[in-house]
Copies of this chain bind each other. A is one copy, B any other.
Amino acid sequence: MNFSSKLLEDAVAEFAKLPGVGQKTALRLVLHLLNRDKEEVHKFSTAISKLRNEIQFCQTCHNISDQKVCEICSSHKRDHGLICVVEDTRDVMAIENTNQYNGVYHVLGGLISPMDGIGPADLQVDSLVERLKDGTVKEVIFALSATMEGDTTIFYLNKRVKQFAINISTIARGIAFGGELEYVDEITLGRSIVTRVPYENSLS
């Protein structure tokens, strides 16, 4: 593209580095910002630089936080005997939105993926094992994606965690609510028959 201004070109190039944003979208976003008030654009750019410079990660669960220990980990209303292990912050938000979970979390910061060069040492695994040592934790729930990387990570974590006398569980896999049987893939459908549950249990 032929830019009439170096400033414009720089801003478009920076936007185009974002995932899923190409040159044309970047230009559209930048021209939108140019039409906004100076104060609003200032708010936008400071929100980003402030986030990157001041953000903290909870010392206990490694979730994104404004304090050294996040609100969930410091809450007395939560069940500290139950740890839900997730990949990242988005998963914590998704589970919190269900209003079905009252335990605490442990954010791994990724999944084991040899293809991307991510091994257990790159994740918050040691600190998870550390949290289990004092015996207050009764159950660990693995809530990871149902992918190759998720399964590999659960396999590895299980080996590290099973030395402690605690329950280890994973979130249920099966047909989504509202899902029509004919559109479900055969692996999910096959596994959901093998791991069928008593009808009485499925009602609760």
Residues of A near any B CB (own CB < 8 A): 1-8, 10-11, 13-15, 17-21, 25, 27-34, 36, 38, 40-55, 58, 63-66, 70-72, 88-90, 92-93, 96-97
Given A38-B53, A55-B8, also A93-B2 (CB < 8 A): yes
Q: Are A55 and B32 in contact (CB under 8 A)?
A: no
Whether the pair B4, A51 counts as a contact (CB closer than 8 A) is no
Contacting pair B33 A52 (CB below 8 A): yes
Is there contact, CB below 8 Å, between A14 and B48?
Answer: yes
Interface centre among A1, A28, A47 (most CB of B within 10 A): A47
Instruction: Indicate if the CB atoms of A54 and B19 lie closer than 8 Å.
Output: no
Give A67's nearest chain B residue, CB to CB. B5
Interface of A is mostly: helix
Query: Would A42 and B38 count as touching, CB distance under 8 A?
Result: no
Nearest CB of chain B from residue A198's CB, rounded to whole Å: 33
Which residues on B sit within 8 Å (CB–CB) of A65? 4-5
Nearest B residue to A29 via CB reads B18
A29-B33 in contact given A14-B43, A50-B7 (Cβ < 8 Å): no
Question: Which listed residue, B43, B92, B97, touches A4 by the CB 8 Å rule?
Answer: B92
The listed residue (B3, B42, B52) touching A93 by CB distance below 8 A is B3
Of the residues B2, B32, B48, B72, contact of A18 by C-beta under 8 Å: B32
